[in-house]
Structure 1
Amino acid sequence: MSSSSLAWQEVATTQEQRPTLPRSGHCAARLPPSHSSDVIIFGGYTEDDQKKREACNDAWTFSLESKSWTTVQYSGDLIPRVRLASQCVVVDNKLWVIGGWDPGHKQDGGDILSDVWTLDLNTYAWTEIKLQGESLEAISRFQAVAVGQKIFIHTHRSLQDILILDTATSPPTLTKQPVTGSNTPSSRGLHSLTAIGNKLWLYGGAPKSGSMLGDLWALDLSTLEWREIRDGEKPHVRCSQAAAAVGDELVMFGGAYYRDDGPGLAPLGDLWTFDTNDSERGWKELQTAAQPTPRNAGIMVAVDGVLVLQGGWLAFQETYDDTWILDYDST
């Protein structure tokens, strides 16, 4: 693949084709191939024309064919509470939404959530899921990925173990499985976790205190052993980046890091790829003919080699409602 042939294309450029308000901190997943749309987003922080930000609990679907977003009309009266910094994945024909943060309205810090919900993608009816096994502690700014019918959850508490939610049991079962090996990722949030082959690939994030992180780890799902990848060129440290898998390649866009010239976050608009079959090659920065504005807390989903990027924000200045696609050929 030649990076010189890559070009982001902005789509859904009219208000009728976009979600109602700009948003960041939402979650996203690819819809099943049998669905009429390709990507679904849920929740996040919306921002109106007066710069007022509110957490939400709406969902929107995106079609690559029409290059537009459509609001999801829920059926029934049961709906999860508003949230951001949660995670959602699709298993079979259901969207699973896990945890997150409801910031509230009284500047009291709001609530970190520990609930689990499913949205039936045929009827758009919500169901709150009661788990057996481990209790899910309140979590936000974590990561979750689906592999088959299991959901792997990595939080700031995941130092010597990882949470596994088995959706195939009735009721679904949450277990805390010890990881093996003498070295594991340090405590962090706002990182990325991407499933490729039989491994989960973790990059970067922000610890509760201290410097931003820029390390890459692979968790072998057959042994649950973490291995840090140290070879080759590395991207700048960052958190809240958007990441997706295209074939055997991990692709990452944007994020933010602590400014060198004062307090606050500096946004990133770079695009990187990592070939998981050739770790010695290391990361490679890709140049594109056009690119979205630098940002963090947006979403990116891969659909048959096409990357769909939506939303995000320039910290405490602007929230975005744009949508970009990139035809990424990994062959």
Structure 2
Amino acid sequence: YRYNDVWKLDLDSYSWTEVSTSGSPPPPVGGHTSIYDPVEHRMLVFGGGIDGGILNGVYELDLDVFTWNLLSTTGEAPSTRWDHCAVYNSQNHSMVIFGGRDLDGALDDLWMLYLHTSAGLVWQRIKSYGPSERMGQRAIYVPDRNSMLVYGGSNYWVEPWPYFHYDDLWEFNFDTQTWSQLFPATKVLPPARDANLACYDGMNNRMLIFGGIGDYDVILNDLWELDLTTLSWRRSFPHLARDRFAGIFDETTQELIFFGGDFHGHYYTFGDGFRITTSTTPPVFKNGDVNCDGEINTADIVYLINYLFAGGPEPGPIR
């Protein structure tokens, strides 16, 4: 299923509100990416698959007035694609796109869309040898390193299993504009996967990954954290297995907050949400409902995207 509705999650009450928008929204889409531009207080949506085609346009949702616009860009633009990854670079104010797939297969190209130039929005392709072609990989931006970390992904394989999954970790340094493969110090690594969640915890300098699809179409339910100082992985044990879901990390409460997803190739689609507490000890689930009992106060959270461009029926409660 593909949708183009917009919902807002209040992080104080954990209640959902459907947002009424105007303008020219994207068509119902899936496999797209979205980033938050704090300078213009807007959400930018790129790419994705639609009924009968694939997109490579950039759509803006103004978060002050909730108006959609299809933005004009200059320079050579990326090809149409979906299942790519995207991050926001806060140092040069750009949206960074890597990989994904088109009708011919998986991609390995890297692009930057500079968001605040005298010439408007400008695309630039970055030519640097790095990860192999892949789709479904996840990425985070690490401000202290001015780099993007890309983990996992998949590519087409042979029958009977159509996909090969990666467990490698790559870093793109924006200062040198070069790729480097990172080799963790621990022997125990997360199973290879794609379509997982990846978040950056700046307070503890770590990357968190959860869930996704592994080899043989196994749907994963494990939570891993990568210490970015020591490059050491540590495993925790969370909740229900799922893939292709949306989420954020709340540094104030040290929680992963995620919504939706599916299980075993869309045989079951989730409309629920969860909070997973993360720390130096294994995470603990916090149960509740949309009314919340006020146990957690997130009023001081800044730079969090409160708007999930996901779609579907009314989202279920955050538990």
TM-score (norm: length of structure 2) = 0.79
Report the counterpart of residue 18 of structure 2 in structure 1. Answer: 10
CA 306–80 in structure 1, closer or farther in 2 if over 3 Å, else same? closer
Report the counterpart of residue 121 of structure 1 in structure 2. Answer: 115
Of 189, 195, 204, the match for 2:194: 189
Map 1:79-228 to 2 at 5 A. Answer: 79-91=77-89, 92=91, 93-103=93-103, 110-122=104-116, 123-131=120-128, 134-148=129-143, 149-156=146-153, 158-159=166-167, 161-169=168-176, 172-197=177-202, 198-228=205-235
Report the counterpart of residue 261 of structure 2 in structure 1. Answer: 255
1:119 maps to amino acid: L
Identity %: 24
Cα contact 2:248–2:305 (8 A) shared by 1: no
Structure 2 SS opposite 1:215: strand
Structure 2 SS opposite 1:204: strand
2:246 maps to amino acid: A
CA 286–29 in structure 1, closer or farther in 2 if over 3 Å, else same? farther
Map 1:292-331 to 2 at 5 A. Answer: 304-305=303-304, 307-311=306-310
Structure 2 gaps of 5+ residues are 1-9, 154-164, 292-300
Deviation at 1:41, TM superposition (A): 1.2
Cα contact 1:311–1:323 (8 A) shared by 2: no
Cα contact 1:3–1:286 (8 A) shared by 2: no
| 1:19 paired to 2:21 | no
Structure 2 SS opposite 1:213: strand
d(CA) in 2 for partners of 1:4, 1:287: 12
| 1:68 paired to 2:88 | no
Cα contact 2:36–2:305 (8 A) shared by 1: no
1:42 maps to amino acid: F
Structure 1 gaps of 5+ residues are 47-51, 104-109, 290-301, 313-319
d(CA) in 2 for partners of 1:127, 1:286: 46
Which has the higher mean CA deviation after the structures are superposed, 35-44 or 185-194?
A: 35-44
Cα contact 1:3–1:288 (8 A) shared by 2: no
Cα contact 1:270–1:285 (8 A) shared by 2: no
RMSD (CA atoms): 2.7
Report the counterpart of residue 293 of structure 1 in structure 2. Answer: none
Cα contact 2:149–2:169 (8 A) shared by 1: yes
CA 163–306 in structure 1, closer or farther in 2 if over 3 Å, else same? closer
d(CA) in 1 for partners of 2:272, 2:132: 34
Which has the higher mean CA deviation after the structures are superposed, 191-200 or 17-26?
A: 17-26
2:17 maps to amino acid: Q
CA 4–21 in structure 1, closer or farther in 2 if over 3 Å, else same? same
Structure 2 SS opposite 1:217: strand
TM-score (norm: length of structure 1) = 0.76
The alignment covers a number of residue pairs equal to 278
Deviation at 1:3, TM superposition (A): 8.6
d(CA) in 1 for partners of 2:302, 2:73: 24
- Of structures 1 and 2, the one scoring higher in RCO (CA 8 A, sep 6+) is 1
d(CA) in 2 for partners of 1:121, 1:253: 28
